[in-house]
Structure 1
C-alpha cells in the first residue's frame, strides 16, 4: 500500500499533512507521492479537485480520501483530529471503493484539428469575455438551441451541488451517470429565446457547444481556468473513467447534501 499526502497551505492544512505523513511512516505505510494507491487530500474540496487534476492520468488505480481542516467539505469524510483513526483504516484497507462520474471535455481551438482533452469532477463553464455569449448548442449532433447569455455550465451529478446549484440547476444523485447543462443568466425576450431551464442528458448523449460571432472565451474545468482562448467548439461527455474514493466510512450522497446545505438547524 502506497499513500500520497496532498495538502494546501490554508487553514493549517500543511501542518496536518506533515502530521499525517509522520503517522503513516510510524505505522510502516509507504508514503509515495509519485505512484500512490491512495491519495489523501488535506484541506477542503478545492484541494481534492486540485489533487484530481494532478493524478488524473492514474485514475485506473488511485483512490482518494479527503481530510478537511476548515469548514465541512462535500468530498471530505474525515476531520483533521481523526488522523489516528484514518491511519488504522488505511492499515485495514480491503480495496473497496465508491466511484463518481467525471466529465470528459474536448476543446477544439480555432484553426486546430486535434482537440485538447480536459476532465472535471464538478463542472465546466464557458463564458464570453466582456460581452454576451452567443453559441449553438447541439445534443447528439442535433441543434437544440442558440443560446444567448452570460454563459453555460456543464456539470456531473456530484458537481450538481456546486456552481450548477447556485444558478438554478437540479441536484442529481451520482448513481445516475448523466450530465447537466445549466444556463448562466440567459436572455429571454421576444427576439431571443432559450429553454430557460437546466437540461439533464442520458448517459449515451453528449452536448457540443459552438460559439458564434468569433472572439475569445473563458473556459473552466473545475479549477483549470483558460482565459482569452479562441474556441471553435467544446464537446462534453460522461467520462469512461470515474473518480474513486476509498470506502472506509464513505458518507452517503444525500447525507452530504443535508450536511452541506441544511444542517441541524441550530447554527446561528
Structure 2
C-alpha cells in the first residue's frame, strides 16, 4: 500500500508527522511505502483546513485515493484520530480492510466572457461575492428562472460542509448520506425589485443551479472554495451540481456524522 502524509507547518503537526513515519517504518509486517505522487491513502496531519488542502492536492485522484485525518488543530471535524493514537492508526494501516466511507462533493463549471471555461470542486462549499458592494445575480434552477438575487453573496455547500460556513449564515445541517447540495443566501436584500426566497434550498443529484451575473463585464466577483479563492471580472455564469465523484475516507473506525455534530457543537450533557 502506498501512502502520502500531508501536514501543516505547525510545530506539533511536524512532530506528529515524524513520529508517525517512525512508527510505520518500525513495523516489520507493514507492506507500506511512502509515495506522495500516487498514493492509495492520504493521511492529513493538522486541522480541518489541512484536510481541505490535502483534498485539493489530490482532487485529480479521488477515484482511488482514501483520506485519513489525524487531529492536531483546534477543530477536527474530518479527523477520526487523535495525536496520541498513532499506534492504533498504524495497526489499522497494516491490517487495512480497504473499506471506505464516501461523502458527496460539489462541482462548479465557470463560464467566462472570453469564452473560456473552468471547473472547480469543493469538499465544504463554494461562495461567490462581489469584491466591493453587493452581488447582483440571476439564479436559475434546472434551466428555469428562480430569483433575482441582490446581497452579500451566495453559498453552495455540500452535506459535510453544511456545518461550516453554511451553518454560520443560517443554512441547515444536512446528512452526508444524502446526494445533496445546499444553496444559502448571504445577507439578501428584498424590495420591489429584488425578491428572494430568503431561506436555504436543498437540491438533489440531478439538479443544477445556474448563477448569472448581469454585469459580468464590470463586476469583480470573488469565488472562494474551501481554503482557496480567486477574483475575476469576466465571470458570465456559474453552474453548480453534485460532482460525479466523491471523497473517500478510510473506514477503520470512522466517526458517525451525528456524533461529530454532537461533539463539535453541543458537547456532553451537564449533570
Question: What's the offset of the Cα at 1:265?
Answer: 4.7
TM-score (norm. length: structure 1): 0.96
Is residue 63–residue 245 contact of structure 1 (8 Å, CA) maintained in 2?
yes
Residue equivalent to 1:184:
186
Q: Quick one: distance in 2 between partners of 1:209 and 1:191?
A: 18
How far residue 14 of structure 1 moved from its aligned partner, in angstroms, is: 1.5
Query: In the aligned structure 1, how far is the partner of 2:11 from the partner of 2:141?
Result: 42
Distance 2:93 2:74 in 1: 24
Q: For 2:163, which of 136, 161, 164 is the aligned residue?
A: 161
2:90 is aligned to: 87
TM-score w.r.t. structure 2 length?
0.95
Shift of 1:23: 1.5
* 1:91-240 mapped onto 2 (5 Å cutoff): 91-112=94-115, 114-214=116-216, 215-240=219-244
Alpha-carbon distance in structure 2 between the residues aligned to 1:192 and 1:79: 48
Q: 1:11 deviation in Å? A: 5.6
Secondary structure of the structure 2 residue equivalent to 1:172: coil
Kept after mapping to 2: 8 A contact 1:21/1:31: no
**The residue matched to 2:114 in structure 1 has which SS?**
coil
- Separation (CA, whole Å) in 2 of partners of 1:83 and 1:120: 29
Matched residue of 2:58: which SS?
helix
Alpha carbons 2:114, 2:234 under 8 Å: kept: no
Structure 2 unaligned runs (5+)?
none
Tell me whether 7-16 or 86-95 shows the greater mean CA deviation: 7-16
Match of 1:43 in 2: 46
Worse-matched range after superposition: 15-24 or 164-173: 15-24
CA distance in 1: counterparts of 2:104 and 2:190, whole angstroms: 32
**Are 1:24 and 1:30, in contact at CA under 8 Å, matched by a contact in 2?**
no
Deviations 1:12-63 (A, max 9, x none): 1122112112211222421111111100000011000000000011111100
Residue 211 of structure 1 deviates from its aligned partner by: 1.1
How much is the aligned-residue C-alpha RMSD, in angstroms?
Answer: 1.2
Q: In the alignment, is residue 32 of structure 1 matched against residue 58 of structure 2?
A: no
SS at match of 1:169: coil
Distance 1:11 1:240 in 2: 37
